[in-house]
Structure 1
Amino acid sequence: MTQTAIPYLLMRGGTSRGPYMNRADLPDDLDQLAEVLIAIVGSGHTLNIDGLGGGAAVTTKVAMLSKSNDDWADVDYFFAQVSVTDKLVDFKPTCGNILSGVGPAAIEMGLVSPQDGETNVNILAVNTGARVAASVQTPNGDVSYVGDAQIDGVPGTSAPVALRFMDTVGGITGAFTPTGNLTDTINGITVTCMDVAMPMVIARASEFGLTGYETATELDENKAFFERMEAVRIAAGEKMGMGDVSKSVAPKFGLLAPANQGGSVAARYFMPWNCHPTMAVTGAQCLASCLLTPNTIADGLADRSNETPAKVTLEHPSGLIDVLVDYEIGADGFALNSAGLVRTARKIASGEVYIPKSVWSGN
């Protein structure tokens, strides 16, 4: 055999897709693991023609699962973002859309025993330390992918996967506002730097001469905007204590504008070198937190709810996403308890993926 076989599930999680694998089937060393994931995805080609990737950042993601030693969690979820063309792997962030498939995948892999009706799976996102409780539909002890739940950006309907995110504040930087300020001015652009589920740099679309209602394609074609945005993102990364982020997908970038489709606010999320076709689950939590926090760049864009939990509806390029935010406003400002979302997932394929033995000969 000139190739190494590695078991995998190919799953859609939320509005993303990628291989879900048992961490025990992969190398321990992160440098070697990165080479293996590059080969699996086929990074280095715009179409990922020699791997499982789909030529877009939302289809070059990898979930690696294992039984957890944590007292609370059932499963450890280790995430990797593989670049489409640059043969880079980023282990810093997590992904909430891919996380939507972790509960079903853990049951399919035998890491969690299913219950009859509904199975609760407690997940530790090891990249950031977030804890996520997932409720998976398991009639007769089998994972169901059939139901009436619909999410914008995915055709058809499926069984709902209810997610409740906890311990998401400061997962990467250690702080809710990593710069110590609710707003900063960088290269003439006023931004809010916030770390909730995902560290982000958030600005008003109008600061860049945009409406905030542009399509993902229109934004991707606006090279002048991306040059300005990336310069702000890199400088903000330094101020957030994240060092040189020029080759890291974190912090992500977000734009806000007044709602025009019946939501709370219009939002565009960048991954960061192109616009997300829908909305990241992690980014949705950070943007919702920014909207609910006084004295951020979101002031005046929407009426803040005085109720908790508050439902924040973000308008994204493909529709809407709802975030249910359980929070408090006290003497120390905004305090997030948890954020809830409903997503869907589907198993697409299972079997073995092959990589050259020259990359890795296996355990």
Structure 2
Amino acid sequence: MSHYEPEQIGIRCTLMRGGTSKGVYLHEHDLPAPGPKRDALLLRMMGTPDVMQIDGLGGTHLVTSKIAIIGPSTRADADIDYTFAQAELDKPVIDYTGNCGNISAGVGPFAIDAGLVRPQEPVTEVRIHNTNTGKIMIAQVPVIRGRAKVKGDFAIAGVPGTGAEIFMDYRLTAGAKTGKVLPTGNRTDILELESGQKLEVTICDVANTIVFCRARDIGLRGDEGPEDINHNHGLVDRLREIRGKAAERIGYASSWTRVDEESPFLPFVVFVSEPSAYKTLNGQPVEAGDMDFKARLIFMNRCHESMAGTGSMCIAAASRVPDSIVNQQLTNGASEKETLSIGHPSGVMHVTVKTRKANNEEGMEIDALGFSRTARRIMDGTVYVPTSEAY
């Protein structure tokens, strides 16, 4: 529902926290059709390009510069369609190539409260068609008196307090963009960097596409945080090259040097390392015994402040691929556990992964893959965009 004023157009919106991200949730029929007009509207709505996003709803970080567009499903096997859009900060870019698992956690509650899905107590199953990847996610949303439940005792690292637990089932997202868990057909590949270094990596495509490497192979300890990474221009350039070389290898970019123009969102880069004690962004101690390994995720050439939900799903799947970079990192029977614990800058994330051996490229089949999040509607209202910069 949109309305016009002499100089601005008003569009209804909801500001929601989904997991460790925050974004603007919109009804699809309130927006122009996909294309340049929609992108221009979303850019102006978020205040991009501007690192402060001072004239829009963006929150100056990639994890708070996200958009969810939701409408009736175009598929018989889903309840709703959901399109994820990532707004860049300092570039006029709206990227649709991947999904955000944290923002996805808010989609089910939004759809229930908006009347797009009929609520059933105590838990409503919402089948979500993610249009970015063409895959189905299933959200188990607690409901009370016909509304998505907010209060609960479930806590996630990176979010203060507790909330109602929403389980996100990702077992149907294998081969999200390429149609294959291992896009190259290999459990490890060698990327030859411009320095001459031959870097061993694993490229995996579950929920989103990730190129994995070892922290030590790129001169890192593995416990670095966003401040250590984002302001180290030499390191950022090296990570961009790794991302670009992987993107070129799997056809996401025509040349590694053009990855930021041709595929700004995917693939992510994740470097992994052995468990060790460190302090979170909030200064809280994390012990080595709390995790199976450490992981730092890089997207759009910046380090994620916690862990992307889709990133955790790809990490979990890759951990079960024999001899992959992630699998090699596991010790003490962690590859057999049904709960994988990932140490990230804001704490530890626990994800569910169940697989069985199979005679295929990846050596396994996924039986269960998911993680629990919380979500909360923060604000309903109207966002205004100058008419000359909207339709």
Give the shorter-chain TM-score range. over 0.9
Contact 1:117 1:140 in 2 (8 A): no
- Match for residue 87 of structure 1? 92
1:188-209 deviation digits (Å, cap 9, x = unpaired): 2111111111101110000111
Contact 1:178 1:194 in 2 (8 A): yes
1:288 aligned to 280, 300, 316, which one? 316
Deviation at 1:307, TM superposition (A): 4.4
TM normalised by structure 2 equals 0.89
**1:157 is aligned to 2:162:** yes
**1:256 is aligned to 2:267:** no
Deviation at 1:334, TM superposition (A): 2.2
Deviation at 1:306, TM superposition (A): 6.2
**1:190 is aligned to 2:200:** yes
Relative to structure 1, is the Cα distance of residues 272 and 329 closer, same or farther in structure 2, using a 3 angstrom cutoff? farther
Q: Say which is worse superposed, 29-38 or 98-107, in terms of deviation.
A: 29-38
Deviation at 1:305, TM superposition (A): 4.5
2:385 aligned to 346, 355, 362, which one? 355
Deviation at 1:41, TM superposition (A): 0.5
Structure 1: which 5+ residue stretches go unaligned?
Answer: none
- How far apart are the structure 2 equivalents of 1:299 and 1:5? 50
**1:341 is aligned to 2:363:** no
**1:216 is aligned to 2:226:** yes
1:148 aligned to 153, 167, 173, which one? 153
- Match for residue 325 of structure 1? 353
Relative to structure 1, is the Cα distance of residues 206 and 240 closer, same or farther in structure 2, using a 3 angstrom cutoff? same
**1:275 is aligned to 2:303:** yes
- How far apart are the structure 2 equivalents of 1:349 and 1:75? 22
1:116 aligned to 107, 118, 121, which one? 121
Structure 2 counterpart of 1:37, one-letter code? L
- How far apart are the structure 1 equivalents of 2:390 and 2:210? 35
Relative to structure 1, is the Cα distance of residues 192 and 307 closer, same or farther in structure 2, using a 3 angstrom cutoff? closer
- Match for residue 216 of structure 2? 206
Contact 2:117 2:126 in 1 (8 A): yes
- How far apart are the structure 2 equivalents of 1:116 and 1:123? 19
- Match for residue 13 of structure 2? 8
- How far apart are the structure 2 equivalents of 1:29 and 1:163? 27
**1:23 is aligned to 2:28:** yes
- Partner SS for 2:90: coil
- Partner SS for 1:200: strand
- Partner SS for 1:358: helix
- Partner SS for 1:81: strand
Q: Say which is worse superposed, 170-179 or 269-278, in terms of deviation.
A: 170-179
CA RMSD of aligned residues (A): 1.4
Contact 1:173 1:242 in 2 (8 A): no
Relative to structure 1, is the Cα distance of residues 306 and 291 closer, same or farther in structure 2, using a 3 angstrom cutoff? closer
Structure 2: which 5+ residue stretches go unaligned?
Answer: 1-5, 277-287
TM normalised by structure 1 equals 0.96
- How far apart are the structure 1 equivalents of 2:80 and 2:248? 33
Identity %: 36
Aligned length: 360
Contact 1:130 1:166 in 2 (8 A): no
- How far apart are the structure 2 equivalents of 1:59 and 1:327? 33
